[in-house]
A and B are shown apart, each in its own frame.
Chain A
């Protein structure tokens, strides 16, 4: 049989992040911690962020979920680490557009591996898997800003 259609979803780079997640674990000390879950399917992520002087110094995640939600979390933490908070939020916006199947203008932002998730937009039932980690990041940054 042909896996062509599925291959647009499960790109090799996604499976690599799923199998070897980057930044999985927790940050020592007193990082900002966000717990988020997807009540319709049971996916659960804990994201920890260390933001200093407007820069994301460190980002780690842990949780349970499918290949799409966990690989997305892995890629997200990799992408935002070392970046200014504003840039991380810009990436989140671009990612949301990507999931809605819109053409995106990356500008100065480099999404890197994340673009591999573009195929998710063709599987509407899976979009919320991919956006879970990003929503957690937005929430964490929001709380940081208020402090």
Chain B
């Protein structure tokens, strides 16, 4: 992979922040956008912005073709067996909430269990907390090992015949742990449960095959994979989606509307009430083309190299604590001595380096780590070793700056 050529595709990277060339290390929060995606949005709004699925006119047909064309790109990207299994949503959060509100509400009863892990992002915790309160079901957690991984034998012990839903993140946004979701899905299925995979941190960074994983539901966001904000995907197996009720009602998703009753369109549109996120989907299609042209395997390999280089160099800084397992996806979450992550992030920002500081929408995991907050550097295809060298230099500067305090 030619990182220099990749970087040239991202206009935003070529700027100075606080007098220094920008080093963007916050792609797990949101990725930057390549020129091809920006141009695609421009092309859509300048050329054929129109509502979909209803116009007889030329622009409407073009917009519909592009919107549905993007759905086919997503289908290929995750190897779904049909575009009927690809629902456009606002993002991962909406996708998981849809499953909780539709499948969860219809299938959970008192005595049933939903199984998740303590490393989940809030968006894969709270929808389940809410739906078990409503249905009288119970929420259970698969315990974590001290390095932030999960053991399949613990999954075996936690998932029982009472378990109806197992929901696990594919890659941790804090620890970088890559969870064995395929094996977990098998355990879930053996107990008659369905498996939801939160793919927010995996779909942007590795080849995904939902059929191989045998995930019943797979959720991810466009903005973390070079696409626009406000677009995401819920993949679901057709047999499940067909039985599920929509959670949003209105235009677009209906078949017949009578005064007192209505019927729904077929899949996937019955889950897409209202004017859909047309520009977002079209932009996501362009992002998928961009990532696929480079190759997801190449991207994964590049990020893993960066992560191990980062760990090696960061560990040389005095007072460094890195959280999570040795083998990880492309991110490093850490603390530096007693310097609070906010203070650290402010000093790095003054050096033009963007990192995330806080609880990363994973408060239960922060408590498990026994910290109130952490800093995180996350990498994507456009980052290089020089970015990491700048980060390490910035960390040394931070130590120097707060040196007389601690």
B404 — which chain A residues lie within 8 A by C-beta?
15
Interface residues of B in 350-401 (CB under 8 A from A): 350-351, 357-359, 363, 366, 372-373, 397, 401
Over the window 125-140 of chain A, the binary record of Cβ atoms lying under 8 Å from chain B Cβ atoms (1 yes, 0 no) is 1100100000000000
| A6 touches B (CB below 8 Å) | yes
Q: Can you list 20 contacts pairing A with B, beta carbon distance less than 8 Å?
A: A5-B350, A9-B346, A10-B343, A15-B405, A19-B405, A40-B358, A41-B373, A42-B359, A42-B366, A43-B372, A43-B373, A64-B373, A65-B342, A66-B341, A68-B342, A68-B343, A69-B342, A125-B346, A126-B342, A126-B346
Q: Is the CB of B358 within 8 A of A66?
A: no
Question: B396 to chain A: closest CB distance in Å?
Answer: 11
Which residues of A pack against B, CB within 8 Å? 1, 3, 5-6, 9-10, 15, 18-19, 40-44, 64-69, 123, 125-126, 129
A6–B347 Cα distance when bound, in Å, is 7
Q: Is the CB of A1 within 8 A of B340?
A: no
| B107 touches A (CB below 8 Å) | no
A42 — which chain B residues lie within 8 A by C-beta?
358-359, 363, 366, 372-373
| B81 touches A (CB below 8 Å) | no
| B275 touches A (CB below 8 Å) | no
The contact of B357 among A9, A15, A41, A67, by CB within 8 Å, is: A41
Query: Which interface residue of B18, B363, B372 has the most chain A CB atoms within 10 A?
Result: B372
Place the interface of chain B in its size category: 20 to 34
Across the A-B interface, the 4 shortest Cβ-Cβ residue pairs? A66-B340, A66-B342, A42-B359, A64-B372
Q: Is the CB of B401 within 8 A of A3?
A: yes
Interface residues of B in 68-95 (CB under 8 A from A): none
Q: Output the nearest chain B residue to A16 by Cβ-Cβ distance.
A: B405
A6–B341 Cα distance when bound, in Å, is 15
Q: Is the CB of B346 within 8 A of A6?
A: yes
Question: B399 to chain A: closest CB distance in Å?
Answer: 13
Q: Is the CB of B405 within 8 A of A6?
A: no
B366 — which chain A residues lie within 8 A by C-beta?
42
Known interface pairs A1-B397, A6-B347. Does A41 touch B405 (Cβ–Cβ under 8 Å)?
Answer: no
Q: Is the CB of B358 within 8 A of A67?
A: no
A141–B383 Cα distance when bound, in Å, is 50
A3 — which chain B residues lie within 8 A by C-beta?
401
A40–B360 Cα distance when bound, in Å, is 9
B373 — which chain A residues lie within 8 A by C-beta?
41-43, 64
Q: Output the nearest chain B residue to A123 by Cβ-Cβ distance.
A: B346
A6 — which chain B residues lie within 8 A by C-beta?
346-347, 350, 401
Q: Output the nearest chain A residue to B18 by Cβ-Cβ distance.
A: A5
A2–B102 Cα distance when bound, in Å, is 56
Q: Supply 9 further A-B pairs (C-beta < 8 A) apart from A6-B401, A125-B346.
A: A1-B351, A1-B397, A9-B346, A42-B359, A42-B372, A64-B373, A66-B342, A67-B405, A69-B342
Question: B359 to chain A: closest CB distance in Å?
Answer: 4
Q: Output the nearest chain B residue to A6 by Cβ-Cβ distance.
A: B350
A18 — which chain B residues lie within 8 A by C-beta?
405
Q: Output the nearest chain B residue to A44 by Cβ-Cβ distance.
A: B372
A9–B402 Cα distance when bound, in Å, is 13
B340 — which chain A residues lie within 8 A by C-beta?
65-67
Question: A88 to chain B: closest CB distance in Å?
Answer: 26
A47–B115 Cα distance when bound, in Å, is 37
A1 — which chain B residues lie within 8 A by C-beta?
351, 397
A67 — which chain B residues lie within 8 A by C-beta?
340, 342-343, 405
Query: Which interface residue of A3, A9, A15, A66 has the most chain B CB atoms within 10 A?
Result: A66
A6–B405 Cα distance when bound, in Å, is 15
Q: Output the nearest chain A residue to B359 by Cβ-Cβ distance.
A: A42
B347 — which chain A residues lie within 8 A by C-beta?
6
B405 — which chain A residues lie within 8 A by C-beta?
15, 18-19, 67
The contact of A129 among B342, B350, B351, B363, by CB within 8 Å, is: B342
Question: B198 to chain A: closest CB distance in Å?
Answer: 21
Q: Output the nearest chain B residue to A5 by Cβ-Cβ distance.
A: B350
B342 — which chain A residues lie within 8 A by C-beta?
41, 43, 65-69, 126, 129
A126 — which chain B residues lie within 8 A by C-beta?
342, 346
A5–B343 Cα distance when bound, in Å, is 14
B363 — which chain A residues lie within 8 A by C-beta?
42
A5 — which chain B residues lie within 8 A by C-beta?
18, 350
Question: A109 to chain B: closest CB distance in Å?
Answer: 28
Q: Output the nearest chain B residue to A64 by Cβ-Cβ distance.
A: B372
Query: Which interface residue of B340, B341, B357, B372 has the most chain A CB atoms within 10 A?
Result: B340
Over the window 231-258 of chain B, the binary record of Cβ atoms lying under 8 Å from chain A Cβ atoms (1 yes, 0 no) is 0000000000000000000000000000
B346 — which chain A residues lie within 8 A by C-beta?
6, 9, 123, 125-126
B350 — which chain A residues lie within 8 A by C-beta?
5-6
Q: Output the nearest chain A residue to B404 by Cβ-Cβ distance.
A: A15
A125–B349 Cα distance when bound, in Å, is 11
